[in-house]
């Protein structure tokens, strides 16, 4: 699999004046998915597991000021606000204005004493959180977002806004599944983000193309990386965080297969992926908590 970059002057992620890296999909990619097909706007995430959602909402809800990056369908913030919590300020950040609008609409009917603020931000941009005061957050959480980010850039921003001893929580897919995807490129250690079924007919411009063994071009809209547990600790340490706790959450195989089938336009999971799902009882997700030093 070889990669071909787009040569377009209006693609801000490839503009020579841009100071941040084009890792994750652009906001309009996620926005198109979220607005075109609400029923398909679901990902195999720990948020879909009631027990994890309840415990994590309680964990967030015990703090005064928190930040969630990448709210998806706003399930987590909705859960936090649905019950009496200690949270006074809940910041919701996303690269997509459409996703933020979705969260606003969902939260609008709720009566809560928590002040919710929406921030359009791309954590691949070093200036993304500069509008927030230093050491103003107690906790920050990124659910299935970290793989789309440049770690040093994102962690530097999060380190600045978290108070001393503040907590950072990250979930990301287990490393053993990562290279099994048909969209994985071993040369770059990237998993390319393709169009989804709900993306058909979209005018969102690809970030680039890969050339398959058949010589055909396939557009991609970003890419994600993944990290083993051994790789995560030094990345966190380098950026001023100490790993405090790491656990595994398992997405049930039936949910993962269903979501995968709803989203993908190509064939289903490979035999290796299906065998690994059976072996693990589902798709493992790493759930870690790190403390700012």
Q: What is the CATH number of the domain that holds 24?
A: 3.40.50.150
Using a pLDDT cut of 70, give the percent of the chain over it. 81
Domain count within the chain: 1
89 burial type by CB count under 10 A (0-12 exposed, 13-18 middle, 19+ buried): middle
- Which of 99, 93, 137 is closest to 117 using CA atoms? 93
Torsion 270-272-277-283 (CA) sign: negative
- What are 285's strand-pairing partners? 173, 249
pTM: predicted TM-score of the whole model, two decimal places = 0.87
Range of the domain at 12: 2-292
Q: What is the per-residue pLDDT across 124-153, written as a single tens digit (0 to 9) for each? A: 999 999 999 999 999 999 999 999 999 999
Give the lowest-confidence range in 183-187, 242-246, 269-273: 269-273
Q: What is the per-residue pLDDT across 255-284, written as a single tens digit (0 to 9) for each? A: 888 776 655 544 467 788 888 888 888 999
**Better-scored residue on pLDDT, 35 or 129:** 129
Phi-psi region of 273 (alpha: psi -120 to 50; beta: other; left: phi over 0): alpha
> In sequence order, what are the residues at sequence separation of 6 or more whose Cβ sits closer than 8 angstroms to the Cβ of residue 58?
none
Whole-number Å distance between alpha carbons of 270 and 204: 28
> For position 202, what pLDDT does the model report?
60
Neighbours of 166 (CB within 10 A): 23
Q: What is the per-residue pLDDT across 51-89, written as a single tens digit (0 to 9) for each? A: 999 999 999 999 999 999 999 889 999 999 998 889 999
> For position 265, what pLDDT does the model report?
46
């Amino acid at each position: 699999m070889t990669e071909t970059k787009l040569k377009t002057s209006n693609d801000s992620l490839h503009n020579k004046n841009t100071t941040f890296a084009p890792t994750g999909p652009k906001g309009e990619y996620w926005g198109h998915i979220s607005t075109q097909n609400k029923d398909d706007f679901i990902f195999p995430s720990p948020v879909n597991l009631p027990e994890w959602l309840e415990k994590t909402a309680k964990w967030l809800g015990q703090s005064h000021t928190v930040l969630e990056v990448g709210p998806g369908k706003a399930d987590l913030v909705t859960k936090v606000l649905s019950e009496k919590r200690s949270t006074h300020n809940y910041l919701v950040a996303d690269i997509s204005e459409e996703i933020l609008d979705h969260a606003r609409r969902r939260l609008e009917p709720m009566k809560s004493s928590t002040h919710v603020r929406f921030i359009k931000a791309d954590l691949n941009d070093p200036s993304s959180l500069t509008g927030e005061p230093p050491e103003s957050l107690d906790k920050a959480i990124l659910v299935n977002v970290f793989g789309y980010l440049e770690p040093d850039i994102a962690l530097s921003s999060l380190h600045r806004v978290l108070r001393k001893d503040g907590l950072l929580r990250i979930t990301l897919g287990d490393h053993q599944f990562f290279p099994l995807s048909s969209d994985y490129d071993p040369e770059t250690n990237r998993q390319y983000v393709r169009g989804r079924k709900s993306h058909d007919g979209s005018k969102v411009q690809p970030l680039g193309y890969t050339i398959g063994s058949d010589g055909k071009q396939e557009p991609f809209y970003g890419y994600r990386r993944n990290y083993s547990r051994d790789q995560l600790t030094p990345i966190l340490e380098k950026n001023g965080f100490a790993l405090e706790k790491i656990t595994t959450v398992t997405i049930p195989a039936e949910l993962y297969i269903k979501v995968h089938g709803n989203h993908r336009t190509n064939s289903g999971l490979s035999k290796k992926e299906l065998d690994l799902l059976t072996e693990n009882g589902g798709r493992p997700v790493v759930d870690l908590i790190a403390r700012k030093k």
